[in-house]
Homo-oligomer: A and B are copies of this chain.
Amino acid sequence: MTELITDVQTYDIRFPTSRHLDGSDAMNPEPDYSAAYVVVRTSEGQEGHALAFTVGRGNEIEVAAIDSLAALVTGLPVAEVLGDLGGVSRRLTGDSQLRWLGPEKGVIHMAAGAVLNALWDLRARREGKPLWRLLSELTPEQLVDVVDFRYLEDALTREEALDILRRAEPGRAERRERLLAEGYPAYTTTPGWLGYTDEKLVRLAKEAVADGFTQIKLKVGADLAGDVHRMRLARQAVGPGIRIAIDANQAWGVRQAVEWLAPLAEFDPYWIEEPTSPDDVLGHAAIREKVAPIKVATGEHTHNRVMFKQLLQAGAIDILQLDAARVGGVNENIAILLLAAKFGVPVCPHAGGVGLCEMVQHFSMFDYVAVSGSTEDRVIEYVDHLHEHFTDPVVIRDGNYLAPAEPGIGARMHPKSIADYGYPDGPEWTAPVAEAV
């Protein structure tokens, strides 16, 4: 019997993070970190797991979108699907009716990404490899075959992408060994949430340095005097040798960004992240011109490769922050890594949330081994919460992500977490809420 994809099952999982203000920033004052979780099953009982990340309300819409896309893969032969994930990607993002809901943006695109990532997870598990290794063992031709070059060719052709990948081929083995020995650099956002007291900010910042991190990040944009105060505290706590990135989470317009950053400049912020609307390519370019040497970073809400293409074409960013669960899955993230390599812009992925650290590390490690070939000025965001819900949580040592050895994309959660945090009927949501300490 041909093995078929028999089932695409979804789960609405939410963590009540708003009760403790973990994850609080200028635009997300009370998030409940959530996952529209998806499990693809085959007729031989194999599974692929992935998720779309949201911050609470609306997770049910994301689940509904994944349910609607499920029909496009259910019943297909597994070998055919996993052997042509480029074609499957184009079917999921290009369905002639569903694409009206995007195209390639927002709810429907995140859903396509979740389904694709679950299929890549299934493939990686079958091959017994962590995703980063699976990808970095594919040939340049196999890699470009999963990329959709539609709308990219004025900036990056298939041939140019092949050239980039071929140039990196000779060094793959050496870099893989180095990655396995040393890991990949991380930075931490753990000290920087807006809801924290001064004491907690200083303590966590010092702990971060003691733990080996060379970069931390602070949320800004809610209150200028408060930002100056917290930035001064943080700089005093970590000293001059540690990079401090700041993140406004889209709080400003172009002029306001420039004005707000002026009094922060004396504390030497390394980058300003999401200074304005994620859609505003030209706005980012205008801000970048005015706030140098502070670098401009964005990407966690950049909805597809066409937007990243323009951010690069316009010289709008110094740092590209791809996200594992915003765009159209592994396929589109390969396209984005290739674009970044073409333009020579370092990728420092967005992470945190639910399972984003677990997933996104694979892209940076693949990039290092097989695309850009470099970790210079590249760091993966790290936030220390919710990892305990994953079967293969990230491992951080001396400020580095250690290369995962377990097969898959890293998004598989413990069955108990899926049950306990199911919304609205799981016990964590139906039990009486204790007062926050």
A contacts, CB < 8 Å to B: 27-32, 54-58, 60-62, 64-65, 68, 95-110, 150-154, 250, 253-256, 276-283, 286, 301, 303-304, 306-307, 309-310, 313-314
Output the least CB separation between A353 and chain B (Å). 10
Q: In the complex the two chains form, is A101's CB within 8 Å of B58's CB? A: yes
A32 and B97 contact, Cβ closer than 8 Å, known pairs A65-B107, A253-B152: yes
- Nearest B residue to A286 via CB reads B154
Say yes or no: A97 contacts B56, CB within 8 Å: yes
List, in ascending order, chain B residues with CB within 8 A of A56's CB: 97
In the complex the two chains form, is B286's CB within 8 Å of A58's CB? no
Also in contact, A31 and B97, with CB within 8 A (given A68-B61, A105-B303, A106-B108): yes
From A66, which residue of chain B is reached at the shortest CB distance? B61
Other-chain residue from B54, B98, B107, B276 in contact with A57 (beta carbon distance below 8 A):
B98
Are A28 and B151 neighbours in the complex by a CB distance under 8 Å? no
Output the least CB separation between A224 and chain B (Å). Answer: 17
Looking across the interface, which residue of chain B has its beta carbon closest to that of A64?
B64
B58 adjacent to A108 (CB under 8 Å): yes
Interface SS majority for chain A: loop
B108, A29: Cβ atoms under 8 Å?
no
Please name 15 pairs of A and B residues whose Cβ atoms are closer than 8 Å in the assembled complex, sorted by A.
Answer: A27-B99, A28-B96, A57-B95, A61-B61, A61-B64, A61-B68, A64-B64, A103-B250, A105-B105, A107-B108, A151-B277, A151-B280, A153-B254, A154-B254, A283-B310
Instruction: With A58-B108, A108-B107, A306-B277 as known contacts, state yes or no: A313 contacts B282, CB within 8 Å.
Output: yes
Apart from A31-B97, A153-B253, what are 5 other A-B pairs with CB-CB below 8 Å? A61-B108, A103-B277, A103-B301, A153-B256, A154-B253
Q: Tell me the nearest residue of chain B to A29, going by C-beta.
A: B96
Q: Give the interface centre of A153, A280, A314 by most chain B CB atoms within 10 Å.
A: A280
Name the B residues within 8 Å of A110 (CB-CB): 101
A107 partner residues in chain B, CB cutoff 8 A: 61, 65, 101, 106-108
From residue A317, how far is it (CB to closest CB) to chain B in Å?
14
Q: With A57-B98, A62-B101 given, is the CB distance from A282 to B152 under 8 Å?
A: no
Contacts of A150 in B (CB 8 A): 253, 277
Residue in B68, B104, B152 whose beta carbon sits within 8 Å of that of A58 in the complex:
B68
Which of A31, A100, A153, A309 neighbours the largest number of chain B CB atoms within 10 Å of its CB? A100
CA distance A109 to B150 in the complex (A): 25
Q: Could you tell me the distance between the alpha carbons of A31 and B98 in the complex, rounded to whole angstroms?
A: 10
Min CB–CB distance A323 → chain B (angstroms) = 11
- Give complex CA distance A255, B250 in Å: 33
A12–B101 CA distance with the chains assembled, in angstroms = 15
Residues of B within 8 A of A151 (CB): 253, 276-277, 279-280, 283
* Bound Cα distance from A177 to B254, whole angstroms: 41
